[in-house]
Amino acid sequence: MKYSKVLITGGCGFVGSSIALYLKKNYPKLDIVCLDNFIRQGSQLQVPRLKSQGIQVIEGDVRFYDHLEQVKADLLIDCSAEPSVSAGLDGSSKYLVETNLIGSFNCLEWAKENKAAILFLSTSRVYSIQELENIAYTESETRFEWVDVQNDIARTKQGITQEFSTKGPVSLYGATKLSSEHLVLEYAKMYDIPAIINRFGVIAGPWQMGKVDQGFIALWVAKHYFKQSLTYNGYGGLGKQVRDFLHIFDVCTLIEKQIVKLDSYRGETFQVGGGRSNSVSLLELSELCQSITSHTIDFARNPETHCNDIRILLMDSANTEKEFNWTKQKNIKDLVEDVYHWIQQNEDLVTDIFCK
């Protein structure tokens, strides 16, 4: 490991804390600082877990540069965000833009000042909603399916490639991430900052405080576990929307490989999704949750589709797999089982989060 100290912003969130603990386990001598403003419900629960492994936790907000200035390090992993694609729909755009865009800018300024490398977490939601919705699809018993394509540089059997359109609208969340990607690239080139951008699809796993608008896989398992109802929203309320997903363990193994090679990148972008082979519809997820928890729950149906909704979103990550000699190891059954066991073992801790 070339780096001696890493700052993880949003380090008490699901992804940030998981990466922190994974790195600490594999590199015990690495100094790790997790900075978080604890806005996400459940983020406080990460503090004792992190501290017990010798990881420093500090309260701070990426919207304010002086909060970052408290820390000196040679690597920054930016996991702080308002991560919901629905953010702003209620008229409250300010926090989203300030955290996701000004926060990224502050992280880049900090990286420049500290001569630190940076890993930036972006999203598959940078792609054009309209263009995604225009892709021809069929409908099976349990899911919507994109019609197969041949000889299309923007789409393969596994999903869209990086050639796919990012022309807006992409949601305000997607726009803040896409704008941040541009900034990361410019800072990396102009100031010679080692940097990688990852466009992640859905990430899920234990310790994710899932809610309706973000973290649906953990939410689905929890609602089955606690025998509470759920709603199929959008697209006729059929529950046939499809997403690709990655288990957080697979995300951590990729991040580790990227850190090792980070010095040779200057803002290159990589797609990191599960693709067609690691994808699930809500209906399929419900069936699996039912079989793993042995609980059957009630579902409401809300047919109304929102402006930020996407019927199917799958990414082809072949380039990333090749570049970092990385393969995902966990499938949907592993994922649901791991989340189930986590909830079972921490029922007292998470009941309030999932049973509001």
Residues of this chain that interact with ligand NAD (CB under 6 A) are 9-10, 12-16, 36-40, 43, 61-63, 79-83, 99, 103, 121, 123, 200, 202-203
79 contact partners, CB below 8 Å, separation of at least 6: 8, 9, 10, 11, 13, 15, 16, 19, 121
For residue 287, give the DSSP letter: H
Sheet with 75-78, side-by-side order of all strands: 56-59, 31-36, 5-9, 75-78, 117-123, 195-200, 266-272
Which residue of the chain is nearest ligand NAD when measured via CB?
13
CA torsion through residues 96, 105, 107, 127, sign: positive
Closest to ligand NAD by CB, 9 or 142 = 9
Q: How far is the CB of 315 from ligand NAD (least distance, A)?
A: 11
Closest to ligand NAD by CB, 38 or 65 = 38
β-pair type (242-247, 279-281): antiparallel
Q: How far is residue 216's CA from residue 37's CA, in Å, rounded to a whole number?
A: 23
Q: How far is the CB of 95 from ligand NAD (least distance, A)?
A: 8
Q: How far is the CB of 59 from ligand NAD (least distance, A)?
A: 9
Identify whether the C-beta of residue 80 lies closer than 8 Å to the C-beta of residue 16.
yes
Closest to ligand NAD by CB, 100 or 286 = 100
Q: How far is the CB of 124 from ligand NAD (least distance, A)?
A: 7
Q: How far is the CB of 203 from ligand NAD (least distance, A)?
A: 4
Q: How far is the CB of 103 from ligand NAD (least distance, A)?
A: 5
Q: How far is residue 24's CA from residue 83's CA, in Å, rounded to a whole number?
A: 25
Q: Angle at Cα 15 formed by Cα 115 and Cα 50, nearest 5°?
A: 85
Closest to ligand NAD by CB, 48 or 236 = 48
Closest to ligand NAD by CB, 86 or 295 = 86
Closest to ligand NAD by CB, 38 or 295 = 38
205 contact partners, CB below 8 Å, separation of at least 6: 14, 18, 218, 247, 248, 249, 335, 338, 339
Closest to ligand NAD by CB, 39 or 238 = 39
CA torsion through residues 287, 290, 296, 300, sign: negative
Q: How far is the CB of 320 from ligand NAD (least distance, A)?
A: 14
Residue in the block written with tokens 């025998």: 227
